[in-house]
């Protein structure tokens, strides 16, 4: 690929002048690029995240996708449970809850 033309260098200068968080890094021998720690922290990016790369004109957009969580949700609502219902009484309890929700509306 050819080196940047003067026009592309001028465009980079405009980006730098607009402000924001801008750093320059070199592309490694395997084509790898470093995402600055400050950017990773601000976006919450961590190990295991996936990145979608999209070529847009003369630049690349990166979109980060978090990995699926591995934490169990079991017990998450335990502090919110007010009553324990037996398996046999469950249909009646559900019906009462639905009726109560309609009465509130």
- R_g of the chain, CA atoms, integer Å: 26
* CA count, 13 A, side-chain hemisphere, 12: 11
Q: What is the pLDDT of residues 63-76, one digit of tens each?
A: 999 988 777 777 77
Cα(55)–Cα(99) distance, integer angstroms: 54
* pLDDT score of 19: 56
pTM for the structure as a whole: 0.47
Helix and strand numbers, DSSP H then E, in the chain: 3, 2
Q: Is the pLDDT of residue 80 over 70?
A: yes
Assess contact for 62 and 51: CB atoms under 8 A. Answer: yes
* CA count, 13 A, side-chain hemisphere, 90: 3
Cα(66)–Cα(38) distance, integer angstroms: 17
* pLDDT score of 5: 52
């Amino acid at each position: 690929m050819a080196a940047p033309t003067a026009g592309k260098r001028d465009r980079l200068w405009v980006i730098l002048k607009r402000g924001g968080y801008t750093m320059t890094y070199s592309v490694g021998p395997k084509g790898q690029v470093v995402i600055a720690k400050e950017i990773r922290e601000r976006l919450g990016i961590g190990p295991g995240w996936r990145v979608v790369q999209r070529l847009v004109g003369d630049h690349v957009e990166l979109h980060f996708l978090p990995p699926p969580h591995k934490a169990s949700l079991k017990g998450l609502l335990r502090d919110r449970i007010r009553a324990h219902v037996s398996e046999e009484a469950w249909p009646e309890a559900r019906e009462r809850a639905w009726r109560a929700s309609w009465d509130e509306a």
